[in-house]
Structure 1
Amino acid sequence: MYTKNYIALLTKDNTAETDVERKALFRILSTDDLYRKVTHLYDFKEHSIKPESLENGEVYLSSSSRKLVMAAFNLYNGHYEADIFDTFAGLDDKNFNLVIQAIKIRFNKY
């Protein structure tokens, strides 16, 4: 269930075991594509998301990657409203399951 990218993100951020918000965020950001772009999406010094990265064109995100990031940001602190239909529509099975995993982490249902 957990990848080396996920463990690396938790380690780099020094995420507390009880910090389900960041754990859910990092679960989604651990995909190979988003992991390569994580410094554009998350500030490890400030321990916070960079929501402006979705608006300023700093990083290219495919439509499915954008949906994943918006879901991750929503699970982190509700920054983006995530409509269930819009979030899941068009995601392949792998990414659909990834978001479900992140939801389970966020709400301690795993």
Structure 2
Amino acid sequence: MPATRSGSEPTAILEIEQLGQSIWMDNLARDLIESGELATLIETKGLLGVTSNPAIFEKAIVGNKVYDSAIEAGIKSGKSLMEIYESLIFEDIQKACDIFRG
């Protein structure tokens, strides 16, 4: 029987999972988290993980206004650029982990 999740149609990702492999997405961004898209991919497509690194995070914040208010708040509170960067990425990673835990 084809693999399904939450009453969804069979997906290639779930079929790969049945073969002992797991699919991870090489992308993490706050809008993916806040929009519910990450949760949807986990729930309906069988996504089992995401990765992040400085290049991925740079891509996420460049030209994406979803980070602007957090960056402005960090600047106003006197945080260094590294402190702002770390707070943004740690928050996104923690939220993603929470979503994966369900």
| Bigger RCO (CA 8 Å, 6+ sep) | 1
- TM (norm. structure 1) is 0.24
- TM (norm. structure 2) is 0.25
